[in-house]
Amino acid sequence: MNWQKIKDKLLFGVQFLLYTMIKYWRFWLLLIALLILAWWLRGCRDDRIADKSESLHVEHNTQIDITAEEVRSAFPVAKLEFLTIETEELAEMSKTGLWGTSHLARIYPGKIRLGIDMSQLKPDWITVAKDTAKLQLPYPSLLEENFIDEASSRPFHEKGSWTPAEREMLYQKAHTAMLKRSLTPERKREARKAATSHFSRALFALGFKFVIIKYN
């Protein structure tokens, strides 16, 4: 390798660069000015982007700013129905008297409604702590004792004479039989499941992350 030739080429290159810069100094001055202007414009653009990003920043607040009293007011002080059971009962009774055997049979339709009477709850039935709501609820129960539509009842068979008290006995017999047949453990669990779903959806919609429900 001829180091002298390389050295001569480097020296020539430096001399040519200096000659060009001196001869075309206006061009180099303009180029430097353009580079400085481009650097300044880029800095201004970065500042605008930073300001815009700060103005669009969204703070996520996980704190639920709602009191237990406000949550309670979101639920109506009424009877909330969670399960309806439509049923029908054939009740009958017989008696023997001086004039032979009398027989009475009627068909009673009824609509059994299971739910929670919100007006009967204690004031502290719901408590809140941050993102958690805790509820103390009674098991869904019978909302109306008089669930038989007596006006729509119809005779199935009637023989002999019957007093109003005896007819009332037949009504109570049908009432008891309908409750016994309808209020099974499975139906009660179904009503409780519907109540849990109802209150959970409502509280999740209010912003709570956790809902704890205990049934007394």
Instruction: Kindly list the domain boundaries of the chain, sorted by start residue.
Output: 3-55, 68-215
Phi-psi region of 137 (alpha: psi -120 to 50; beta: other; left: phi over 0): beta
- Kindly provide the b/e burial profile for residues 64-76, where b requires at least 16 CB atoms within 10 angstroms of the residue's own CB: beeebeebbeebe
Phi-psi region of 112 (alpha: psi -120 to 50; beta: other; left: phi over 0): beta
pLDDT (tens digit per residue) in 152-209: 999 999 999 999 999 999 999 999 999 999 999 999 999 999 999 999 999 999 999 9
pLDDT (tens digit per residue) in 131-150: 999 999 999 999 999 999 99
Cα 6 from Cα 77, distance rounded (Å): 99
- The pTM of the full predicted model, rounded to 2 decimals, is 0.66
Residue 157 near residue 103, CB atoms below 8 Å:
yes
Place of tokens 């002999």: 160
Cα 210 from Cα 200, distance rounded (Å): 9
